[in-house]
Structure 1
Amino acid sequence: MNEAALLPVIKAGNGRTLSRAEFLSLFNTYNCFLKDQSQLHLTYAQEADGTVVVEGMLNICWGVRRPIRLKIQDDKQMFPFVPKTSPEPTSPVSPLESKRGMSRWGEYVDLHQIDEMVETPQETIKNPLPGPPVFETSTLRPPKQKNPEQEAESNLFRCMSDASLVKRRRSMGKSAAQREKERQHRFSINGHFYNYKTSIFTPSFGTPTKVCISSRMTTNQVIEQLLHKFKIQNDPQEFALYCLHQSGEKRKLSNTDQPLWERTLQGPSDDIMKIFLMDADEEEVSDDVAQYLNLELPILEKVLQKLKDEENREIQRIENKYKHQKRVLSNMLNCKMSRHIETSV
């Protein structure tokens, strides 16, 4: 955008204003700090009413204490139904025959299915030996000739999570565009994909995530955007955004605050300030209290004792003040209620 087109004064949210020079300096410093991470750079544009709108990625750390619940409604939306076809002898077969074509979490109940994932459709037995086949397992499967490469890859599959196995199987036979579209549909929370056994869990405290927002979005809108990205079923009213500063100060953003402006004004460094998604009833920590958090325990005990002594002196001063007022008021009432004795000469 042309810098000359900016207004002399720019609104930075929550009633704050910046001059054009201050905003450009802040904006350029922000992107310069993230020069090696171009995907995190901010962009801005001035709308017809003169409002400057900033857009970009916002880092948010997980700080919830209560479990969150993941949705499963998008499973059928992610992968359309595939008509039932007769399975080939060497193709992995779902144990749920009524749902052919759709893989569900926990479907791999037999390690033979994992082994078959690394086999190609062209691998067929030519010129079989005469005589009855010799079976090697109780599952009535014929023996398979494996080379060391397939055995190593099969062992790798056994170590993979349910989500990785399903993702690997679903990606087979699909174009790159289809895989990219499906990959963007559901995101993982720090590697935790949806699993029906672990759909209710608590993310590790302090682990970061990113969400693309604009400076027009309020705190509630950013929370809703984050929950929608990860398909979280919880009510957005259960959460709130907190700014946690290096000093230990923890301030809750109100519903009308604009988190991207808060991030822009504080700079991109997480060492100075981090934005956390926490429970709505999390306790705030003021700057006056935060300045004592980094002190040693003996010093904190002395400070606490000093505060108690000061509190006791203040309580005693207030009690003495009201006792004096009570005594004065009582004397005035007694003077008015006493009888006057008149004498005649």
Structure 2
Amino acid sequence: MDSEDSDKVQIGENKFVSKSILLSHLNTYNLYYKGGALQLRHREEEGEMIIEGLLNVFWGVRRPIRLQMEDEKEAGRPRPSLTSLTDQSKVFSEEKEEAGKYILEFLNSHVFTVYASYRNDCVCLVGFVTAHLAGEEQQDSTLSDRIARAKSDVGGRRISGRRLGIRRVRRNRCSFNGHFYNHKTAVFTPAFGSVTNVRVNSCMTTAQVMRVLLNKFKIENSPDEFSLYIVHTSGERHRLKPKDHPLALRVLRGPCEQVSKMFLMETDQVEEVTYDVAQYIKFELPVLQSFIAKLQEEEEREMQKLKKRYADMQRIIKKYMRSLADSTTR
């Protein structure tokens, strides 16, 4: 009994498949994706066969999903203190003083020697520049005194970055297919049919695979709102149970996504479609209407046959009852 169990691989709740069959499908799967990132690896641990690799999942949600705005709280940037502002004002004052000296030296060495006829005008210009610089230095010293007094009044408290005109830069994080989102776009609906992938193994259940997928994109919605579906090109749609193993089922159904795909959809928005129903949903509306008309005609014929049958039985029973009544009266 143990040897039989060791030769099987669980693919769902009370569902098993032999290792040889799964390995054969795995070889076909890897041959299809030869040299690609979707090739799968397999190994054995304590007699159990484990397949691992990337699983393609297609987005099929219709309603917006909520995304986490930030992965973690950013450390606040150091805010400038009043002391740093005072030091900056001193630096600006020194730079202005050096610039004024340079202008005076330039005027004395060039303007006065070359344009002697305009000496008086130049002297006036030098006086104006000197007076202007002296006024700015006085304003700077006054500003420094005010800042020092304000520093003593507030007792060294820090001024908020908003009052100083400093804005924090919010980091944008890349999401679905290069979509960037932040606090303004924290609600997002992936394009229907767009594909993503997650790294899983054949031991992971449907619930575990969905949690990995939602955590990959920091989706705040509850995993209970979604389900994994296998959708065929014929229109057949089958929902995976919570205890199913999606990667093993994907291998067994084959690698070609033109035949079937695995979708993430809302549980309350999607219904399963059986194979019998899927045979008809691909037809055009006039063809479906003709099918319905044929079914109604067939239903009417069967109803008439059934009514005639019961009418005949009723007539026979009544005839027999009359014969019994006549025999008793005699």
Coarse TM-score class (shorter-chain normalised): 0.5 to 0.7
Match of 1:47 in 2: 45
Matches within 5 A, 1:312-323: 312-317=300-305
Matches within 5 A, 1:318-333: 327=314
CA separation in 2, counterparts of 1:33 and 1:229? 27
Contact kept? 1:266, 1:272, Cα under 8 Å: no
Q: CA deviation at 1:242?
A: 0.9
CA separation in 1, counterparts of 2:309 and 2:16? 43
Match of 2:68 in 1: 71
CA separation in 2, counterparts of 1:67 and 1:322? 57
Q: CA deviation at 1:315?
A: 4.5
Contact kept? 1:187, 1:229, Cα under 8 Å: no
In structure 2, the gaps of 5 or more residues are 82-94, 101-128, 133-168
Contact kept? 1:247, 1:290, Cα under 8 Å: yes
User: What is the aligned counterpart of 1:270 among 257, 266, 269?
Assistant: 257
Q: CA deviation at 1:58?
A: 1.0
Matched to 1:28, the amino acid is N
CA separation in 1, counterparts of 2:7 and 2:277? 35
CA separation in 2, counterparts of 1:304 and 1:8? 51
Matches within 5 A, 1:8-47: 9-14=7-12, 15-20=15-20, 22-38=21-37, 40-47=38-45
CA separation in 1, counterparts of 2:170 and 2:59? 26
Q: CA deviation at 1:82?
A: 4.6
Contact kept? 1:70, 1:199, Cα under 8 Å: yes
CA separation in 1, counterparts of 2:221 and 2:316? 60
CA separation in 2, counterparts of 1:206 and 1:245? 13
Equivalent position SS for 1:36 = coil
CA separation in 2, counterparts of 1:342 and 1:320? 32
Match of 2:214 in 1: 227
Match of 1:188 in 2: 175
Structure 1 residue 58 corresponds to structure 2 residue 39: no
Structure 1 residue 309 corresponds to structure 2 residue 309: no
Instruction: Assess, with a 3 A threshold, how the Cα gap between structure 1 residues 318 and 297 changes in structure 2: closer, same or farther.
Output: same
Matches within 5 A, 1:83-232: 83-86=77-80, 188-232=175-219
Q: CA deviation at 1:36?
A: 3.3
Matched to 1:287, the amino acid is Y
CA separation in 2, counterparts of 1:29 and 1:324? 62
Per-residue Cα deviation, 1:193-212 (whole angstroms, up to 9, x for no partner):
43222212321111111111
Larger radius of gyration: 2
Q: CA deviation at 1:291?
A: 2.2
Instruction: Assess, with a 3 A threshold, how the Cα gap between structure 1 residues 34 and 318 changes in structure 2: closer, same or farther.
Output: same
Q: CA deviation at 1:260?
A: 0.8
User: What is the aligned counterpart of 2:278 among 277, 290, 301?
Assistant: 290
In structure 1, the gaps of 5 or more residues are 1-6, 88-126, 133-164, 169-185
Contact kept? 2:171, 2:182, Cα under 8 Å: no
Equivalent position SS for 1:13 = strand
Contact kept? 2:174, 2:181, Cα under 8 Å: no
CA separation in 2, counterparts of 1:246 and 1:316? 39
Contact kept? 1:251, 1:284, Cα under 8 Å: yes
Equivalent position SS for 1:190 = helix
TM-score (norm: length of structure 1):
0.59
CA separation in 2, counterparts of 1:53 and 1:315? 57
Q: CA deviation at 1:62?
A: 0.7
Matched to 1:211, the amino acid is V
Contact kept? 1:187, 1:230, Cα under 8 Å: no
Aligned-pair identity (%):
41
Instruction: Assess, with a 3 A threshold, how the Cα gap between structure 1 residues 12 and 314 changes in structure 2: closer, same or farther.
Output: farther
Matched to 1:27, the amino acid is L
Larger relative contact order, structure 1 or 2 (CA cutoff 8 Å, min sep 6):
2
RMSD: 3.7
Matched residue count: 245
Contact kept? 1:70, 1:231, Cα under 8 Å: yes
Contact kept? 1:10, 1:23, Cα under 8 Å: no
Equivalent position SS for 2:42 = strand
